[in-house]
Structure 1
Amino acid sequence: YLRIAIELHLKRLLVGGYRRVYEIGRVFRNEGLSPRHNPEFTMLEAYEAYADYNDMRELTEAIVVEAARAVPLAEVGGGGEASAELARGEGSPLRRSYGGRDLDLTPPFPAKTMARLIEEVCGFDPVRAWDDGSLEPRARQAGVEIEPGQGLGTVFNEVYEQKVERTLFDPTFVLDYPAEVSPLARRRRDDPRFVERFELVVAGRELANAFSELNDPVDQRARFEEQARRRELDEGVGYPLDEDFLEAIEAGMPPAGGLGIGLDRLAMLLTDSPGIRDVLLFPTMRPQGGEEAEV
């Protein structure tokens, strides 16, 4: 099978006693082609025992900031005042341009919950709407497209993805996702509908994804089974559970934090490249009048 993430094998290493593990490798997802998607791409994944998503936030910020400082100034293109300052030998490599807009990568990056961002952009409190049963009609009123049969956690996430994510330009940590769309993350103790997860969003797109890892074998199996059930309903295809991973979790995985960074998207950001194919040597392209092919 072509792996969609590096995650499960690295977690099995945590079960085996490794304290910190990481891998830079290729992963594959059947998500079609777009300026930000390629079926094959490069990920950095890292896991640390006895850490949580707050520790992963610190690590993520450090990686992005150090990468920005390491990219030669000659690689910074585009317009904008930040690039003009760099060309004159002024300013900071953490202030650069992306897509003709000035981008500020100076730490610390702001962190806001998904619920707060939805309220700021859409004008209603989505947690309260979930509580009183008005989340779905509120979402439709805001112009969110909802598929039949979607759970409220998915609706919550759709409001964010369709209405909020693209408004975030400077780096922002988006915290506390619905458990329904986060099958491998640990639930929040104060509200188990949500999990200890964040995404780092820059220029309107996800750059990194991290969470406090779920290490409860009973909860993990239940979530895998629910995920498989929904995929079979949506796609008409049954997918087997990863029994090797579940067996490893049952043996005892320590509390841990995990992180994934899309390195192609990071390269796009730091070189002011408009599309993912601009940073790949052999991107998948759409030929004229045919199926997808590698060019």
Structure 2
Amino acid sequence: MSDNPVDNNLPNASEDNHIITERKQKLAELQEKRGIAFPNDFRVEHKAGDLQAAYGELEKEEIESKELNIAIAGRVMRRGGPFVGIRDVTGSIQFYLGKPLQKESDDWKLLDIGDVVGVKGKLCKSGKGELYVNVESLDDVRILTKSLRPLPDKFHGLADQEAKYRQRYVDLIVSQETRNVFEVRSKVISGIRNYLTERSFMEVETPMLQVIPGGATARPFITHHNAMDRDLYLRIAPELYLKRLVVGGFERVFEINRSYRNEGVSTRHNPEFTMLEWYQAYANYHDLMDTTEEMLREVATNVLGTTEIHYQGRDYDFAKPFERLSMFDSILKYNSDLTADNINTLEAATATAQKLGIHVKDSWGLGKVQTEIFEETVEEKLFDPVFITDYPAEISPLARRNDENPEITDRFEFFLGGREIANGFSELNDPIDQAERFQAQVAEKESGDDEAMFYDADYINALEYGMPPTAGEGIGIDRLVMFLTDSPSIKDVILFPHMKPKAD
């Protein structure tokens, strides 16, 4: 049986089963020879990446003169004669076991690609200029974990995209590209957290199980609490709880949160997703746009080392000012055959929507019809960073009305690469207006809209104590990471995305 990885691009169940059986026999032999099949007493003292950074450029003689004793562990990724390549979380390195020791070492004879090994020895450099650990004792190569399943072909990885999502652990083993995506994701979240905490925002945690789901218009997941004998909802957004904290006196708060919406699965949607939401007292939506622009610019620079980003065949530059455009003006800009008269009354906008093939319900007002036209004809054209502002009050139940035009709100959505990335607004802190809007949402729900909001009496109660002028925003972390890593699907940036059941 060859030690080379099996090519899972052409699956062969019979061959895989044979390999698994063979490896189980090796595991049994390890158990018999040393009594412990999965030891946990090897202590790592060095990392491959650190060794490469510190000594990779030194000459062979200089390294050997230092007589560096190395203790390192990692997964076996390749074998070539006496040299074995292993990889840990930081990078790769080789170890070398000469033929005399090979003949005596039980672990060497039972070693397969995919095994996790612990290695001790002197650090050296080969004639080809590669670092390796020279093993000088039988006890200095130990199989710590026996891999019973063969890895995919190292050159192709998992060719089946669905298999990458379903078996992310295998994808991470064989794909440096995949590991890079999630390293960037981690750094983006850390960068956002640092940006906000450095500006006196306090990180908080709010309930995931809620009596009333609020903060967004979406269909929630429902669960049941047995002890209380009542239904609860997985949160669709943390917004209403975060604003309760502003009422309570925490003037700058944020939460990097998991939210849940009972919606379809697509390249842009996952039922479970990560958002940043932050709220700032004595600020308005213009302040949020300024902060968003500055934060994204800083995060891109710190994480990627540049503000110039390539995404799905297009180039972007965060160093340039982000455009700001009202929803009304964006419809006219991206529909050159339309004029203001085509969308400035309910009758005209309805006729325009119908000509565009957009279904319009009788209960919709002008703002809702305009929004549908915008979503169907504009959104996917918004590639360069742009804040779309002045959303209709009809579809913005939590946003503050504009002082000059109460039919619109002080709200924006931020678009990038043809996708909505963020939503922010000056908060509605008038409890009477908010109660009326909740009532309108209840009417929508009663008429069959599963995504309409509930009436949240406790939130109204909180507003009646007085919330200072406040602005708040939510950013979709998953979609932002998609953009920063040139990933076409949201599943590429979620470690364990939800998948439809496999067909029988």
TM-score interval, smaller chain: 0.7 to 0.9
Distance apart, 1:50 and its partner CA: 0.9
The CA deviation string for residues 216-261 of structure 1, in whole angstroms up to 9 with x for no partner, is 1011011011112112212479974211111000111111110110
**8 Å CA contact 1:199, 1:206 repeated in 2:** yes
Which position in structure 1 is the counterpart of 2:277?
45
Of 466, 472, 476 in structure 2, the residue corresponding to residue 252 of structure 1 is: 466
Structure 1: runs of 5+ lacking an equivalent: 74-92, 291-295
Of 325, 337, 347 in structure 2, the residue corresponding to residue 112 of structure 1 is: 325
Matches within 5 A, 1:135-284: 135-235=349-449, 240-284=454-498
Equivalent-residue separation in structure 2 for 1:104 and 1:234 (angstroms)? 43
**8 Å CA contact 1:111, 1:173 repeated in 2:** yes
SS at match of 2:344: helix
What's the TM-score, normalizing by structure 1? Answer: 0.87
SS at match of 1:201: strand
Larger Rg: 2
Which position in structure 1 is the counterpart of 2:292?
60
Q: In structure 2, what residue type is equivalent to 1:242?
A: D
Q: In structure 2, what residue type is equivalent to 1:162?
A: E
Q: In structure 2, what residue type is equivalent to 1:59?
A: T
Equivalent-residue separation in structure 2 for 1:15 and 1:21 (angstroms)? 11
Equivalent-residue separation in structure 2 for 1:126 and 1:153 (angstroms)? 14
Equivalent-residue separation in structure 2 for 1:154 and 1:166 (angstroms)? 18
Which position in structure 2 is the counterpart of 1:33?
265
Which position in structure 2 is the counterpart of 1:100?
313
Equivalent-residue separation in structure 2 for 1:168 and 1:238 (angstroms)? 27
Q: Percent identity?
A: 48
Higher RCO (CA < 8 A, seq sep 6+) = 1
Equivalent-residue separation in structure 2 for 1:107 and 1:127 (angstroms)? 33
Equivalent-residue separation in structure 1 for 2:399 and 2:432 (angstroms)? 13
Q: In structure 2, what residue type is equivalent to 1:53?
A: Y
The CA deviation string for residues 55-98 of structure 1, in whole angstroms up to 9 with x for no partner, is 0001111121112112236xxxxxxxxxxxxxxxxxxx222211
Which position in structure 2 is the counterpart of 1:90?
none
Equivalent-residue separation in structure 1 for 2:489 and 2:427 (angstroms)? 31
CA 117–237 in structure 1, closer or farther in 2 if over 3 Å, else same: closer
Distance apart, 1:5 and its partner CA: 0.6
Distance apart, 1:287 and its partner CA: 2.0
The CA deviation string for residues 128-187 of structure 1, in whole angstroms up to 9 with x for no partner, is 733473111022223333244322211110010000010010111101001111000011
Distance apart, 1:40 and its partner CA: 0.6
**8 Å CA contact 1:265, 1:276 repeated in 2:** yes
Distance apart, 1:48 and its partner CA: 0.7
Comparing 127-136 with 144-153, greater Cα deviation is found at 127-136
Is structure 2 residue 334 aligned with structure 1 residue 121? Answer: yes
Comparing 236-245 with 183-192, greater Cα deviation is found at 236-245
Of 237, 240, 244 in structure 2, the residue corresponding to residue 5 of structure 1 is: 237
Distance apart, 1:37 and its partner CA: 0.4
SS at match of 1:183: coil
Aligned residues: 271
What's the TM-score, normalizing by structure 2? Answer: 0.52
Which structure 1 residue ranges, 4+ long, deviate > 6 Å from structure 2?
236-239
**8 Å CA contact 2:441, 2:452 repeated in 1:** no
SS at match of 2:448: helix
Q: In structure 1, what residue type is equivalent to 2:419?
A: R
Distance apart, 1:121 and its partner CA: 1.7
Equivalent-residue separation in structure 1 for 2:400 and 2:453 (angstroms)? 23
Equivalent-residue separation in structure 2 for 1:96 and 1:238 (angstroms)? 37
**8 Å CA contact 1:139, 1:159 repeated in 2:** yes
**8 Å CA contact 2:346, 2:366 repeated in 1:** no
CA 166–191 in structure 1, closer or farther in 2 if over 3 Å, else same: same
- RMSD of the alignment, in Å? 1.9
SS at match of 1:155: helix
Distance apart, 1:101 and its partner CA: 1.6
The CA deviation string for residues 10-39 of structure 1, in whole angstroms up to 9 with x for no partner, is 101111111111111101111210100001
Q: In structure 2, what residue type is equivalent to 1:183?
A: P
CA 262–152 in structure 1, closer or farther in 2 if over 3 Å, else same: same
The CA deviation string for residues 105-134 of structure 1, in whole angstroms up to 9 with x for no partner, is 223101010111101122334577334731
Equivalent-residue separation in structure 2 for 1:229 and 1:132 (angstroms)? 20
